[in-house]
C-alpha cells in the first residue's frame, strides 16, 4: 500500500473537473464539481441520520438503489435543504448532467453543501454544466476538490495504490468539511473512486463498516449536518477478479479504503473552523469496541477539552469528565491519561487520580499543531481512535455571520 497522487482521478477511467458557475456570490471560488467514470460503476453511499435532509440525498438514495452510478455532481454555496423546489432542482441537475454525458439521469449522484434554507435556481447549473463536462480530465481531481469547499481553508484529497490478483489497483478520495461536523453514519461530503471490481453489495458492506471507525469518529463542533454523505464508485477497470464475498481480497480492499478514509478524517479535523490544532484521542483497554468508541468520541467532542487544548492547558479533569458522561462501562479508578505531541509526552493522571507533572513540559506538548490525548482504561483489550480540533475564538467569528 502506497500513497499516490491524483485523488479521485488516480483510478483508471475516472476524470473530474470544477468550475465557478454562479451559485456562490464570491466569483473567485469554484462552486460546481463533477466526477465521471468512463464505464458504469458499482455505487454505495451512507447518509446523515439527521431528520432534516438535503434534497440531493433523497435523490441520490433513489438513483443508486440498483447499486450502480456513473457520475457525481456537487455544488457548494447552497445546501439545497429546506427548499420548496429542492427535489425538482436536484432531479433537473441530474438530467442536465446526463444529457451532456450521454448517460441516464438515474446514474448520477447529486450532492450540495452550503447555507440551509436559501432559495435555489437551476439557471447556474444549466449554464455551467456544459462547461463543467467540457473540462473533464484526468488532472481534474484537485479542481473538483476545490469546488466542493465551503469554509474549508485547504483542499482535501488522497489516493493509494495496492495489489489485488496481481493487478495494480487505485483508490482515491476528496472531502469537504470544516464545520457542522459530528457525523452519525456518514460525514460532511466525501467522494471516493476506485478501479477495483467489487459487487455493489460488498462495496456497501465495506463502506458501512468503515465509517464506523473513520468518519463517525470525527467531531468538530457537535453539530450533525443535514447534507452529510459519503459516496463510492468502483468501476472494475483494474481487472481483478470480482469481489463478491468475504475473504482476503475484500480484506485488502477494506484496508485500502480505510487508509484513504482515515487520512481524510485527519485532514478534516485539522481544518476545523477556526482550529489551530488537530486533536487525536487514542483509547485502549476498553471492555469492547463500543465502549472504546464512546469514550474517544466523547472526549474529542467535549467543548471544555477542546478549549483547554486551545489554551495549552493540561486540564486532564475535563478528559475524565467526558469519560464519565460518555455512557461507556468504565471503572474510572483504573483510568490513565497522558498528552503527547512532537514536543514529548506528559502523563497527567493514573488510576483516576492526578499525579505530579511538569506544567512547563505540558505547555510545550500542548502548544504543538497536532496533539494526542492518550487514554488507558485497563478494562479489556479493545481500542478506538477519534479526531477533532481545538475550539477557538475564530469558530464563533466564522459562524456568527456565516449566512450573511
The catalytic residues are 187
Indicate the pairing of strand 278-286 with strand 382-389.
antiparallel
CA separation for the pair 267, 57 (Å, rounded): 24
3-state secondary structure at position 199: coil
Sign for the pseudo-dihedral over CA of 120, 9, 191, 97? positive
Query: Apex CA 235: angle with CA 233 and CA 240, to 5°?
Result: 125
Count Cβ atoms below 10 Å from residue 162 Cβ, excluding itself. Answer: 20
Query: Apex CA 320: angle with CA 318 and CA 321, to 5°?
Result: 60
Query: Contact at 8 Å (CB) between 93 and 122?
Result: yes
From residue 223, alpha-carbon distances to 48, 50, 178, 278 in Å are 11, 10, 11, 18
Quote the DSSP letter at residue 137: B
CA separation for the pair 382, 402 (Å, rounded): 40
**Residue with grid cell 492526578, as numbered in its chain:** 354
CA separation for the pair 237, 109 (Å, rounded): 20
3-state secondary structure at position 16: strand
CA separation for the pair 120, 139 (Å, rounded): 30
CA separation for the pair 57, 112 (Å, rounded): 9
Amino acid at each position: 500500500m502506497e500513497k499516490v497522487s491524483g485523488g479521485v482521478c488516480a483510478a483508471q477511467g475516472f476524470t473530474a473537473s470544477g468550475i465557478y458557475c454562479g451559485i456562490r456570490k464570491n466569483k473567485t471560488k469554484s462552486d460546481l464539481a463533477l466526477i465521471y467514470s468512463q464505464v458504469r460503476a458499482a455505487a454505495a453511499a451512507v447518509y446523515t441520520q439527521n431528520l432534516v435532509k438535503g434534497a440531493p440525498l433523497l435523490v441520490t438514495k433513489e438513483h443508486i438503489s440498483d447499486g450502480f452510478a456513473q457520475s457525481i455532481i456537487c455544488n457548494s454555496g447552497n445546501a439545497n435543504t429546506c427548499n420548496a423546489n429542492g427535489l425538482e432542482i436536484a432531479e433537473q441537475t441530474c438530467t442536465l448532467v446526463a444529457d451532456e454525458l450521454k448517460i441516464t439521469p438515474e446514474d448520477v449522484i447529486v450532492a450540495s453543501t452550503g447555507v440551509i434554507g436559501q432559495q435555489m435556481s437551476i439557471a447556474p447549473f444549466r449554464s455551467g454544466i456544459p462547461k463543467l463536462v467540457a473540462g473533464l480530465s484526468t488532472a481534474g481531481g484537485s479542481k473538483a476538490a476545490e469546488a466542493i469547499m465551503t469554509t474549508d481553508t485547504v483542499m482535501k484529497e488522497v489516493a493509494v495504490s495496492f495489489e489485488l490478483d496481481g493487478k495494480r489497483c487505485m483508490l482515491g478520495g476528496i472531502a469537504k468539511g470544516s464545520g457542522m461536523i459530528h457525523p452519525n453514519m456518514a460525514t460532511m461530503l466525501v467522494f471516493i473512486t476506485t478501479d477495483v471490481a467489487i459487487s455493489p453489495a460488498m462495496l456497501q458492506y465495506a463502506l458501512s463498516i468503515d465509517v464506523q471507525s473513520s468518519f463517525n469518529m470525527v467531531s468538530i463542533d457537535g453539530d450533525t449536518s443535514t447534507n452529510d454523505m459519503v459516496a463510492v464508485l468502483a468501476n472494475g477497470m483494474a481487472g481483478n477478479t470480482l469481489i463478491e464475498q468475504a475473504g482476503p481480497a475484500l480484506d485488502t480492499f477494506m484496508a485500502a479504503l480505510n487508509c484513504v478514509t482515515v487520512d481524510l478524517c485527519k485532514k478534516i479535523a485539522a481544518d476545523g473552523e477556526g482550529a489551530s490544532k488537530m486533536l487525536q484521542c487514542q483509547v485502549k483497554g476498553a471492555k469492547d469496541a463500543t465502549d472504546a468508541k464512546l469514550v474517544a468520541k466523547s472526549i474529542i467532542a467535549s467543548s471544555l477539552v477542546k478549549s483547554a487544548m486551545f489554551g495549552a492547558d493540561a486540564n486532564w479533569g475535563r478528559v475524565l469528565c467526558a469519560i464519565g458522561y460518555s455512557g461507556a462501562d468504565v471503572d474510572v479508578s483504573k483510568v490513565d491519561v497522558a498528552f503527547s505531541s512532537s514536543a514529548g509526552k506528559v502523563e497527567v493522571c493514573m488510576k483516576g487520580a492526578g499525579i505530579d507533572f511538569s506544567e512547563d513540559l505540558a505547555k510545550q506538548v500542548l502548544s504543538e499543531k497536532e496533539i494526542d490525548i492518550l487514554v488507558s482504561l485497563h478494562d479489556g483489550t479493545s481500542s478506538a481512535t477519534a479526531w477533532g480540533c481545538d475550539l477557538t475564538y475564530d469558530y464563533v467569528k466564522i459562524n456568527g455571520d456565516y449566512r450573511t
